[in-house]
C-alpha cells in the first residue's frame, strides 16, 4: 500500500469520514464501514482532501483538459481539486452542473468553465453510478469528451451484477476510473492497526460476501 493510499485512509478515519459499525447501504447490504465525504466539512479537511485528489490525478496517466463535478457533492470536490492542481503547477478550468437549468441571467445548465475537450469527472464514491451517467450525458451533450472518473474510495463490491460499480462504469463507457484508495487499502490499514481486529474481521467477511477482486 503506497504512502498516499495509507495516508488517505488514516486521514479519513481521523476525520470520522470513514466510520466502523453497522450501516445499511443503498443496495440494502449491512456494511461494517461507512464513508461519508460530506463530513469533510471545514476548510482544512477540504484542503487536505483536495490535495489527495490532485496528487492522485497527476500520478495517473489520464490526459484531461478540465474537470467536472456533479451536483451537489461533486461541486466542492471539483473546486478544491482545481485549486490543489493549480498549486501543483497544473491550472485547468472546472465546471459543475445545476440541478435545474437557469433560464435567466447567464442561463444554462452548468456553471464555471465551458465544457470542452477532455473532461475528467470528480466524485466521492460510485454506488449505482447514477451521477456518473448523468455527468457523461451532460459532457457529451456539450460536445466534450468524458475521459475518466476520479473518486475518493472504491468499495470494490458488486454492483448490479458480478462486476463492481467501478467496473460497470468502465465497461459501459470505456473510460478509466481511479480512486484515491480502495477496499484493499482499507484492509491493509486495518491489518496494521492493533486495536482494529474486530473491524478487520467484519470487513474481510463483508468482502468475501460482496467483494470483487481486481486482476
Residues with catalytic annotation? Answer: 102, 104
Query: Is 126 in contact with 134 (CB distance < 8 Å)?
Result: no
Which residues make Cβ contacts (< 8 Å) with residue 168, sequence separation at least 6? 129, 159, 160, 161
Using DSSP's 3-state secondary structure scheme, residue 86 falls into helix
Nearest to 52 by CA among 17, 5, 93: 5
Measured distance CA(43)–CA(66) in Å, rounded: 23
Q: N- to C-terminal Cα distance for the chain?
A: 16
Nearest to 152 by CA among 41, 4, 3: 4
Measured distance CA(149)–CA(135) in Å, rounded: 10
Amino acid at each position: 500500500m503506497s504512502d498516499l493510499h495509507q495516508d488517505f485512509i488514516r486521514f479519513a478515519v481521523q476525520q470520522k469520514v470513514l466510520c466502523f459499525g453497522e450501516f445499511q447501504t443503498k443496495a440494502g447490504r449491512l456494511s461494517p464501514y461507512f464513508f461519508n465525504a460530506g463530513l469533510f466539512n471545514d476548510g482544512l479537511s477540504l484542503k487536505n482532501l483536495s490535495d489527495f485528489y490532485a496528487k492522485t490525478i497527476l500520478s495517473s496517466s489520464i490526459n484531461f483538459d478540465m474537470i467536472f463535478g456533479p451536483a451537489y457533492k461533486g461541486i466542492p470536490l471539483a473546486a478544491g481539486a482545481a485549486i490543489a492542481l493549480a498549486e501543483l503547477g497544473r491550472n485547468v478550468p472546472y465546471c459543475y452542473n445545476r440541478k435545474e437549468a437557469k433560464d435567466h441571467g447567464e442561463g444554462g445548465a452548468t456553471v464555471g468553465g465551458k465544457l470542452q475537450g477532455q473532461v475528467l469527472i470528480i466524485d466521492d464514491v460510485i454506488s449505482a453510478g447514477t451521477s456518473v451517467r448523468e455527468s457523461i450525458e451532460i459532457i457529451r451533450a456539450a460536445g466534450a469528451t468524458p475521459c475518466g472518473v476520479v473518486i475518493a474510495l472504491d468499495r470494490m463490491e458488486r454492483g448490479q451484477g458480478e462486476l463492481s460499480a467501478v467496473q460497470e462504469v468502465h465497461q459501459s463507457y470505456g473510460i478509466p476510473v481511479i480512486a484515491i484508495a480502495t477496499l484493499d487499502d482499507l484492509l491493509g490499514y486495518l491489518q496494521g492497526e492493533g486495536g482494529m481486529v474486530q473491524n478487520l474481521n467484519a470487513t474481510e467477511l463483508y468482502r468475501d460476501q460482496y467483494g470483487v477482486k481486481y486482476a
